[in-house]
C-alpha cells in the first residue's frame, strides 16, 4: 500500500522503507552473482571471464534503465507527497511512455555499437563470442529490465518498498533454476545464463503490474491521463535524462576500467569480476539508504518539509557510515572464503587478483557511503544536474587514475582508481547538497 513519508519519525520511516530495499538489492545482485557462480564452477575460468567482460556493458544497461526510471518517477513522488493524485497518474502515464521510447532507442543502439565497443575493450579473442552473445541476448530482453525497474520505481515513489522485493526474490529463484537448467541440462553455456536472466526479469515485471492493478486503485490510469503534454514531458525528461546520464557515466567508468583490466588476461579478468561482485553485495545497505533517501526527499520536497530532509540526511549519513565500516571489516577478514565460492580450487592467480582489488578499495567505503546519501537527497529535490556533475567528476578521476597508475603499477594501479573517484565525488556532493537545501529553504520562506 502507498505510504506518505511527510510526517512521523523520519528515521523510523526510512528504516522501515529501507529494510525491504536491502533484501531486494541483495537479491537483485544475486541475479548476476548466481550466474557467475554457476558459470565459474560448471564451465570454467574462461567462461567466468567472458561473463565478467560482459558485466560492464550489462551494468551500463542496468544503470541507464534504473537512472531513467528513478528520475522520471521523482515527479510522481513529489505529486504524491503534495496529495495531487490526478497529476500523479498523469506522471505515471508520461513516465511509462518515455520509458518505452528510451528502451527501444537503447536496444537498437546496442546492436549497432556492439562490435566497435568490444573492439575498444581489449577483449581476449578466446572470450569474444561468448561475451558478444551474452550482451546481445540481454539487449534483446532490455524491455524486461526497464519494465521491472520502472514499476518498482513507481511503487517506491508511493512509499511501497516491500512489494517489488517479494517479486524480485521469487524471480531470483527462478533465475537460478533456469540458469542451471539451460547450462547443465541443455548445454547452452554462457548464453544460457543470459536467457535465464532476461526471463526472470520479465517475470518480476509482470508480477509488479498485476499487483499494482489489484492493490493500487489510485494508479489505474484513465484515458485522460495519457494526453500528450510537451511541457509535462520536458519536466520529466529534465530529471530523468540527467539521472540516466549520471548512471550511464558511472557505467562507462566501470567499462573503461574493465577495458584496462582486460589487457592483463583471463585470470585477472576473472579475479576482478569476482571481487566486484563481492563488493557490490557488501555495499547494498548503503545503496538502499540512497534509494530510500531519494523517495523520502522527493515526498518532503513536494510537501515543503525541508527540515525533515535535513534531519533524515544527517541520520542516514551516520548509519551509512556504520554500514560501510561493518562491510569493510567483513570483507577484510572473510573475502578469501567468499571469493572461493565463485571459482574452483587451483586458481591462485584469480584469488590473488580478487583479494588485491578488495584490499585496496575497502578502506575507502566511508566516502562511497556518503555519496549515496547526498546524491540521492539532491535527486529527490529534483536537481538533476548535480548528480550528473558528480558522475562526470567520478568518471574523469576513475579513468585518469587507472590509466596513469596502470602504466607503472599494473593491475594494482587499476584497483586504486575507484577509491580516488569516491573521495572526489563525496566532497563535491557534500557541498552541493548544503547549497541547494539552503537555497530551497530561502525560496520557500
Choice between 361 and 48, residue whose per-residue pLDDT is larger? 361
Question: In this model, does residue 345 exceed pLDDT 60?
Answer: no
- Give the pLDDT confidence of 152-162 residue by residue, as tens digits: 888 877 777 77
- Give the pLDDT confidence of 203-244 residue by residue, as tens digits: 888 888 888 888 888 788 888 888 988 999 888 888 788 777
For 22, the domain range is: 10-443
pLDDT at residue number 35: 67
CA distance 57 to 63: 10
Contact 376, 247 (CB under 8 A): no
- What Å distances lie between residue 147 and 57, 192, 198, 264, 439, CA to CA? 19, 22, 11, 37, 35
Task: Answer yes or no: is 5 within a domain.
Answer: no
Number of CB atoms found within 10 A of residue 82's CB: 16
- Give the pLDDT confidence of 279-297 residue by residue, as tens digits: 777 777 777 777 778 878 8
Which H/E stretch holds residue 415? Answer: helix 411-415
Question: In this model, does residue 359 exceed pLDDT 80?
Answer: yes
Task: Answer yes or no: is 3 within a domain.
Answer: no
pLDDT at residue number 423: 92
Question: In this model, does residue 346 exceed pLDDT 80?
Answer: no
- The confidence band for 274, taking pLDDT boundaries of 50, 70 and 90, is confident
Task: Answer yes or no: is 1 within a domain.
Answer: no
Question: In this model, does residue 256 exceed pLDDT 70?
Answer: yes
Question: In this model, does residue 369 exceed pLDDT 80?
Answer: yes
Number of CB atoms found within 10 A of residue 44's CB: 16
Question: In this model, does residue 435 exceed pLDDT 90?
Answer: yes
CA distance 412 to 402: 9
- The confidence band for 31, taking pLDDT boundaries of 50, 70 and 90, is low
- What Å distances lie between residue 230 and 86, 236, 237, 302, 340, CA to CA? 17, 10, 10, 22, 53
Segment 84-113 shows an average pLDDT of 89
Report the domain count for the chain.
Answer: 1
Task: Answer yes or no: is 343 within a domain.
Answer: yes
- Can you spell out the DSSP letters for 287-313? HHHHHHHHHHHHHHHHTT-HHHHHHHH
pLDDT at residue number 436: 92
pTM, to two decimals = 0.68
Contact 5, 161 (CB under 8 A): no
Percent with pLDDT over 70 in the chain: 92
Contact 360, 415 (CB under 8 A): yes
Amino acid at each position: 500500500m502507498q505510504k506518505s513519508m511527510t510526517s512521523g519519525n523520519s528515521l523510523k520511516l526510512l528504516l522501515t522503507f529501507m529494510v525491504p530495499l536491502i533484501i531486494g538489492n541483495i537479491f537483485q545482485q544475486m541475479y548476476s552473482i548466481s550466474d557467475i557462480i554457476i558459470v565459474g564452477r560448471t564451465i570454467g575460468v574462461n567462461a567466468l571471464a567472458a561473463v565478467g567482460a560482459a558485466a560492464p556493458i550489462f551494468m551500463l544497461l542496468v544503470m541507464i534503465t534504473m537512472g531513467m526510471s528513478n528520475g522520471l518517477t521523482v515527479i510522481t513522488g513529489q505529486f504524491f507527497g503534495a496529495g495531487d493524485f490526478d497529476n500523479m497518474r498523469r506522471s505515471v502515464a508520461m513516465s511509462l511512455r518515455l520509458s518505452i521510447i528510451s528502451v527501444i532507442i537503447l536496444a537498437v543502439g546496442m546492436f549497432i555499437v556492439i562490435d566497435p565497443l568490444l573492439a575498444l575493450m581489449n577483449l581476449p579473442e578466446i572470450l569474444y563470442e561468448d561475451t558478444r552473445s551474452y550482451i546481445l541476448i540481454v539487449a534483446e530482453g532490455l524491455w524486461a529490465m526497464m519494465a521491472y525497474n520502472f514499476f518498482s520505481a513507481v511503487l517506491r515513489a508511493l512509499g511501497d518498498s516491500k512489494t517489488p522485493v517479494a517479486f524480485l526474490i521469487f524471480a531470483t529463484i527462478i533465475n537460478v533454476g533456469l540458469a542451471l537448467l539451460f547450462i547443465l541440462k541443455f548445454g547452452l553455456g554462457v548464453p544460457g545464463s543470459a536467457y535465464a536472466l532476461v526471463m526472470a526479469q520479465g517475470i518480476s515485471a509482470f508480477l509488479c503490474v498485476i499487483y499494482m492493478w489489484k492493490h493500487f486503485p489510485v494508479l489505474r490510469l484513465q484515458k485522460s491521463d495519457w494526453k500528450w503534454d510537451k511541457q509535462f514531458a520536458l519536466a520529466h525528461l529534465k530529471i530523468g535524462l540527467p539521472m540516466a546520464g549520471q548512471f550511464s557515466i558511472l557505467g562507462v567508468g566501470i567499462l573503461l576500467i574493465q577495458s584496462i583490466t582486460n589487457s592483463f588476461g583471463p585470470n585477472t579478468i576473472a579475479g576482478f569480476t569476482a571481487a566486484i561482485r563481492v563488493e557490490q553485495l557488501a555495499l547494498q545497505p548503503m545503496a538502499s539508504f540512497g534509494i530510500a533517501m531519494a523517495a523520502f526527499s522527493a515526498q518532503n520536497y513536494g510537501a515543503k518539509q525541508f527540515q525533515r530532509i535535513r534531519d533524515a540526511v544527517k541520520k542516514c549519513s551516520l548509519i551509512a557510515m556504520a554500514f560501510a565500516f561493518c562491510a569493510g571489516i567483513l570483507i577484510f577478514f572473510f573475502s578469501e572464503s567468499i571469493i572461493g565460492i565463485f571459482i574452483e580450487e587451483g586458481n591462485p592467480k584469480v584469488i590473488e587478483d580478487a583479494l588485491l582489488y578488495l584490499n585496496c578499495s575497502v578502506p575507502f567505503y566511508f566516502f562511497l557511503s556518503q555519496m549515496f546519501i547526498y546524491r540521492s537527497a539532491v535527486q529527490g529535490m529534483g536537481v538533476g544536474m548535480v548528480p550528473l556533475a558528480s558522475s562526470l567528476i567520478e568518471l574523469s578521476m576513475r579513468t585518469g587514475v587507472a590509466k596513469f597508475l596502470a602504466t607503472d603499477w599494473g593491475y594494482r594501479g587499476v584497483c586504486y582508481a575507484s577509491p580516488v573517484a569516491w573521495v572526489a565525488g563525496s566532497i563535491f556532493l557534500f557541498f552541493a547538497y548544503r547549497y541547494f537545501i539552503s537555497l530551497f529553504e530561502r525560496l520557500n520562506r
